[in-house]
Structure 1
Amino acid sequence: MTLHRKLLILIILATMVVSLDPAQAEQLSIAQLSVLPDDTSLTALVLMRERPDIDYLRQLVANLSRDERSGVVWRELDELARRSQQGIRQNLERWVNTGELERIQYLRLVNGIVLHGSPRVYEDIFNHPDISELIHIIPRTIETNAGPIPVTVADGESIPWHIEHIQAPQCWEEGYTGAGVLVAIIDTGINYYHTDISDHLWDGGDQYPNHGYDFAGLDDDPIDESGHGAGVAGLVAGDGTSGINTGVAPDATIMGLRVRQDLFTGVVTDTWLAQD
């Protein structure tokens, strides 16, 4: 991936909060917070006033090698978040100690903080000088009658139509099989028991023994309970062990990042945390 494309992706991620779907987010106001019972729990995004400087990052990595750029950008984003959030983090720790702030999750890409707590927490930090926006994150459910589309192959064949259509086998013949590439499936999870991917899963060691993380359930088990993420993992890297070679990059390594309870229910901040 070129430097230009990497920075374009970073720019998109760093500015994505400005285009939130109104069905998933709304600006919080003191008037709204003041009428809510104290035992109400809200999930909200605190967006800091100081934002990542894309021009500065572009100049910083201009003369670096491809392997060095990512580490430099992440270190800069981490330093910005730590420095600009220092004051508000002290306020938030006080609310954790009272039990009214149940969860704090820090976002580097957009320099923000995801909180889950009582209205009193948000009233306290509402006018903090380092904060530019306070956004209520609303769980969203999508209603649909869509069902699964089966993968079909001709009799006696092991390569399905979609793989042939994009000429993936020709790429494999030239040595482009996904070997050495780590792919994060940010979805409903993965089925790490499936034989088509089970021998090329990310090794997270003792900290992440199940090859990823569940941001929706806040645990280390990203097992897919609805099937969508498992299907995506198969389309990316299914190697045909079970009989049909469904994956476009059958030698790629898969990491599972579960961000939704199922295909139709979830909150957008879980996806951002996975990207971070």
Structure 2
Amino acid sequence: MRRGAPRQRLVLTVLLVVSCALVVLDSREDTAFVTDGARAAGEMVFTPVSAGVSAATSPVGDAYRALTAAPNARERIDELEERNRELTAELEARDLDEQRSAELEELLHLSGLGGYEIVPAQAVTRVDSQGFSDTITLDVGERDGIEPDMTVVNGDGLVGRVLRVGTKTATVLLLTDGASSVGARLEGASEMGIAHGTARSLDESSSIRFELLDADASVSSGERLVTMGSHGGTPFVPGVPVGTVKEVQDTPGALTRTAEVTPAVDIGSLNIVGVVVSEPERDPRDSVLPPKPDEDAAQAPRDDGAEDEE
């Protein structure tokens, strides 16, 4: 560093002398050709440097211009965000409409199989209601022909029965409520019993307890239940899927046999339901039940590999 210091001072001195000379020459008209050459040489040397500095500082300039236009930009951003929220809501509504359409289609399929005349409705809310722990409110009522003790179903099976009716709404006691019970029978058999709800609050599980009237009756896991039906079709019409036996509870000496049943309907996700306003002309028996999984597999077409082997 010490050896380089005199050289640096020498370069600086030469540059100062040249600068002074150029200033003097530039002030004289007869030396314009000298200074013009010097300017051209300087432009050749410093123009690339200037361009590089401009490129480096361009983002800073752009940012400054963006900041100066911030009020309008903020308004535009707000408009875009609002439009984004609107589009998101439209997509969610479309998805919800598609879901409701699918549920309505399943509901109409069930009513067609059973010969039930129904009034479609939407489950508005699920609440505790006047001593009952598991009820829902529907957006249909007296003006729609709804009356107490009508059967309520969805595309999967039994939901419950109408408890109370207002002008525009109806309260439904769900099958899973501890105060609910319905006469049911085993699929493909005449063995009958009573299916009781077990829920004492909205937070409890939605299982059903099925008590066979005959203590010697045969029942096993996987068997399905349907409603026996009431006189005049109220409060329950016949043939509606109730649930599937999950576990059989044998109690020696008991007068009845008891089984735990999984409801056919997912009570926790009710949306589109149907109120049966007229009982079927005949008992549909087991025709409303969907095919069993093993039956679906047996009816499925064989793959190409099996055909090739033949």
TM range (shorter): under 0.3
TM-score (norm 2): 0.21
Q: Which has the higher contact order (CA 8 A, sep 6+)?
A: 1
Query: Where is the strand percentage greater, Structure 1 or Structure 2?
Result: 2
Could you say which structure has the higher helix fraction? 2
